[in-house]
Amino acid sequence: MFIFKSKKELQKHLSAFGNKKTIGFVPTMGALHQGHLHLIEQSNLKCDISICSIFVNPTQFNNPNDLANYPNTLTIDLEKLEKVKCDIVYNPPVNDLYTQGETAKSYDFGSLATAMEGEFRPGHFNGMATVIEKLLNIINPTIAFFGQKDLQQLYIVKDLVKQMQSATVIEGVQTVREESGLAKSSRNKLLSESAKKEARLIYNCLNYCQKNKEKGVDKLKFHIQQQFLKQKNFTLEYAEFVALKTMLPIKDWEEENENAVSISAYHSGVRLIDNIIL
């Protein structure tokens, strides 16, 4: 496994392959879990070379404390990547991607970025898209793999690639879950065992929606809200039923597999998000 800190060294290494190899790319901020490793495994299945970036992107944090407290587990991350046969890791310092004082670009993703995460994390998507655009331009991957847990991000990246007129294919990969159904997340490490058990409520609510779709949007949303009101340590931030194409709230179902239920909630100060496509 090759590890590069510099985009120039990485591009020099990649240039030796010319167009003879397909490249799979998985961008991460480290603190890797099974969800990230599953993306690498998908890349290994579909591409000749798999690249993982580990970079905690400063422009996508609207809370400076979140950035300061973001876990750094680089040594363990590299061991995990070696085990799943990742070929290349790009782990740059900030100044390899950003010039001094550079801020996030301003993008127009239309309705994709206005609701849910766009409402509760202002500036997040501009920061995320800024670094993804930089990484795609550096690596020029054949396919880039993103987890479905960050559903809004996935659809925004698909739109970003269109705006860039890039040939890279963006592939969404199904969410990897704990046995309990809780979506794998770097933030799960911050939860106690009892909190993890209570956090299963998110998946239980999503599952309920899938099994009771005929009840309609309003009744299902009310059910979720009621479940959270019963909790002492769990606060619902939002439960939104949206159309995948627009990420805007719906009152009635679109076509099959064109709808999503997205939930964001706080347990013990830890923010958790999850979704299911219906």
Active-site positions read 36
Say which residue the tokens 């290349």 belong to. 88
> Is the CB of residue 185 less than 8 Å from the CB of residue 66?
no
> Is the CB of residue 139 less than 8 Å from the CB of residue 23?
yes
CB-count exposure of residue 52 (10 Å: 0-12, 13-18, 19+): buried
Each residue of 196-210: b (16+ CB within 10 Å) or e?
eebbbbbbebbebbe
d(Cα 34, Cα 12) in Å, to the nearest integer? 30
Residues 6+ apart with CB under 8 A from 45: none
d(Cα 11, Cα 33) in Å, to the nearest integer? 27
Quote the tokens at residue 267: 């347990």
Count of CB atoms situated within 10 Å of the CB of 192: 12
Residue 84 Ramachandran class (φ > 0 left, ψ -120 to 50 alpha, else beta): alpha
User: What are the start-end ranges of the E strands in the chain?
Assistant: 2-4, 23-28, 49-54, 88-90, 143-147, 169-173, 234-243, 259-267, 270-277
> Is the CB of residue 105 less than 8 Å from the CB of residue 129?
yes
> Is the CB of residue 223 less than 8 Å from the CB of residue 89?
no
